[in-house]
Chain A
Amino acid sequence: MKDGTEMLAPRARSAGLVVRDLDEELLIYDLQRESAYALNRLAGLVWKHCDGTTTVGEMPDLLTATLGDQVSLEMVWQAVSRLSDDGLLEEQANQTAVRVMTRRAMMQKVALAGSVALITSIAVPASAALAACIANSCRAGCTIGVNCTGSGPRGTACTLCGGPASGSCRGTCCDIGGYFNSVDEDCSGGCCPGYECKLVAHGGHRSCSQRAGG
């Protein structure tokens, strides 16, 4: 399968990414796309070797030495292809790849590799409230409270206050906006519709108060 494509030296994207080594995976959060990916060991190592210098053709031997298991060129291509699709490689390298080998040819190689290099997309909640809502409700397939309902299989977006991102689950009520919208000691649990969390003029406490005209 020597066609010159193994001379490609992709470069991992560095800007706008937050990266952390987990116990068995590499976790990458893309600040621009607000999406996250869990790379298994092989995919993570391929990404780390994408330094703009190491060629795809060199990677199998390097990875075989690191992992102790035989890594083929097809496995590396599978990882590179997926990393490119997920925007984790520099665009320049992606364009080079397209120039060197057609997309179709790449996919033929990927198909040979099976599913060894795994990259799992992770839904990252936009807020802590939504994270809690997903954890408490959608993941478990049950329902939260009166104003904040969510149900369905794991990963289903919660419906908050009748529309996504229009509010945040707080206990059984829906907390609607504001910068300081959840205060453990005061408005914990959030304020029901028609009420808002307000600073009290004296004493610095916050409390749910009826909105003007509400």
Chain B
Amino acid sequence: MARILAGSWRSATTHRVPGSDELTNLLPYLLASGTAPLAWWHIRHTPLRHTPAAQELQDAYRETSAFGLAREPTIETIFVLLRGAGIEPILLKGWAIARLYPEPGLRPLGDIDLYVAPGEEYRVEAALQTPGRGPFEVDLTHDLSGLLQGRSMTEVAARSELVPLGTSEIRVLNAEDQLAYLCIHFLKHGGWRPLWLCDVAIALESRPSDFDWDLCLGGDRTRADWIACTIGLAHVLLGADVRGTPVANRAERLPFWLVPAVLKAWERPRAFDHPVPELMVESLRHPQQWPAALKSRWMSPLESTVRVGGSINRVPRLPYQVANYALQLAQFLPRLVHVFGQSSGQRDTAPRESRL
């Protein structure tokens, strides 16, 4: 997977292309992980393009391109409606990243992820319920503090950028916040989706000449190292060019466990391999679900490290995984008391961060 995606986001092929058999074997993973368009882009000018597997990749590339093309007017419409209601959202991921690729269709789009200021969710909902429009697949985020730690959202919004889309302008994070956001997002989800690392690579290589690394890395040393390590992963696994960056040295000295941990996560690159488990309070009502419920809370080394705010270093990860498990338990127990103290008709409404 890493071999075929290496350098795939570039306009010209710069890395070795796989053999025909290798491509055939990888096809299900490429299709399922949303990286088939990039794989097609990588091999499109090679003899492999005439193989049956390549035709599947090309079909996926066309479908992704067509879906993206169909989705763009929707994004415009959403911004027009929200601005009409006095709301200025920031588009996260999706098209905000796809626009950086040589063709937007190389990067599949999903839900439309928007950041809006806290307290504006209800107004957004009202603004988008315009008769004859929608429904819109909007994914609202009101709190980026977990991904942009130590940063004032007011400042982040103030330095966000407007980029053209059709006849509109869409607000996106600036290049520095974008790269930081992509790196932390990748880590926070355990890095299971290869496409996210491609996003990091394209954001890195398309950065403007005046890119402010101090702004991207921030003042928190742990968090800065998380970003550096993620860029290092993009370098080691995908061949991202780190020359001339302050993270180049770190990219060459990743902890022994990090690359294998990500490659293991890539063995299950589909979204439905990573479902959000049922709320624990619900699982508790069904004893037969307990083993699966408890197992699902045991997270990967990478995810555990980030969730407990740990450093990505050479220390074995088991303590972090145990700590993360204990942390979830500590968050859950008071909630359990609270929930069972309420009337039986009420349900737990805990956010995902405390789903144990």
Taking Cβ atoms with an 8 Å cutoff, the residues of A that contact B are 18, 20, 22-25, 27, 29, 31, 34, 36, 38, 120, 122-125, 127-129, 131-132, 134-136, 139-140, 142, 144-145, 148, 154, 169, 171-173, 177-189, 192, 198-200, 203-210
Q: Are B67 and A198 in contact (CB under 8 A)?
A: no
Cβ contact within 8 Å between B60 and A139: yes
Contacts of B169 in A (CB 8 A): none
Q: Is B349 in contact with A198, judged by CB distance below 8 angstroms?
A: yes
Q: How large is the interface on B (under 10, 10 to 19, 20 to 34, 35 or more residues)?
A: 35 or more
**A-facing mask of B96-112, CB < 8 A → 1, else 0?**
00000011110011110
* Stretch in contact with the other chain, from B17-25, B128-136, B239-247: B128-136
Find out whether the CB atom of A169 lies under 8 angstroms from the CB atom of B272: yes
> A22 to B140, alpha carbons, bound, how many Å?
31
Whether the Cβ atoms of A135 and B351 lie closer than 8 Å is no
Q: Give the residue name and chain of the A residue nearest to B94 (CB).
A: A128
Asked if residues B136 and A183 are in contact (CB atoms below 8 Å), the reply is: no
Residues of B with C-beta under 8 A to A18: 69-70, 72-73
Interface string of B123-151 (1 = CB under 8 A from A): 00100110000111111111100000000
A36 to B139, Cβ gap below 8 A?
A: no
B85 sits at the interface (CB 8 A): no
Tell yes or no: B47 within 8 A of A by CB.
Answer: no
Q: Which residues of A contact B138 (CB under 8 A)?
A: 179-180
A124 touches B113 (CB 8 A): no
Residues on the B chain within 8 Å of A144, using CB = 272
The 3 A-B pairs with the shortest beta carbon distances in the complex, nearest first, are A171-B275, A36-B66, A189-B276
**Cross-chain contact A124 with B63 (CB below 8 angstroms):** yes
Set of chain A residues within 8 Å of B110, measured between Cβ atoms: 128, 131-132
Known: A135-B32, A209-B347. A189 touches B275 (CB 8 A): yes
Q: Residues of B contacting A209 with CB < 8 Å?
A: 347, 349
CB-CB under 8 A from A208, the residues of chain B are 279
Q: B212 contacts the other chain (Cβ, under 8 Å)?
A: no
Q: Specify the chain B residue showing the minimal Cβ separation from A189.
A: B276
**B350 on the interface (CB 8 Å rule)?**
yes
Closest partner residue, chain B, to A172 (CB atom): B275
Q: Is the CB of A187 within 8 A of B276?
A: yes
Q: Is B62 on the interface with A (CB-CB < 8 A)?
A: yes
Kindly list chain B residues whose C-beta atoms are within 8 Å of the C-beta of A189. 274-276
* Nearest-neighbor residue (CB-CB) of A37 within chain B: B66
Q: Find out whether the CB atom of B70 lies under 8 angstroms from the CB atom of A135.
A: no
Q: A192 — which chain B residues lie within 8 A by C-beta?
A: 278
Cross-chain contact A23 with B44 (CB below 8 angstroms): yes
What distance in Å separates the Cβ of B259 from its nearest Cβ neighbour in chain A? 26
B291 interface residue (CB < 8 Å to A): no
Hey, which chain B residues are within 8 Å of A22, CB to CB? Answer: 65, 103, 105
Nearest Cβ distance between residue B7 and chain A, in whole angstroms?
16
Residues in A whose Cβ lies below 8 Å from that of B60? 135, 139
User: By the criterion CB–CB under 8 Å, are A205 and B349 in contact?
Assistant: yes
The smallest C-beta distance from A72 to any residue of chain B, in angstroms, reads 25
Taking CB atoms, residues of chain B closer than 8 Å to A29 are 66, 69-70
The residues of A that contact B271 with a CB separation of less than 8 Å are: 132, 136, 171
Please measure, in the bound complex, the distance between the C-alpha atom of A18 and the C-alpha atom of B31, giving whole angstroms. Answer: 25
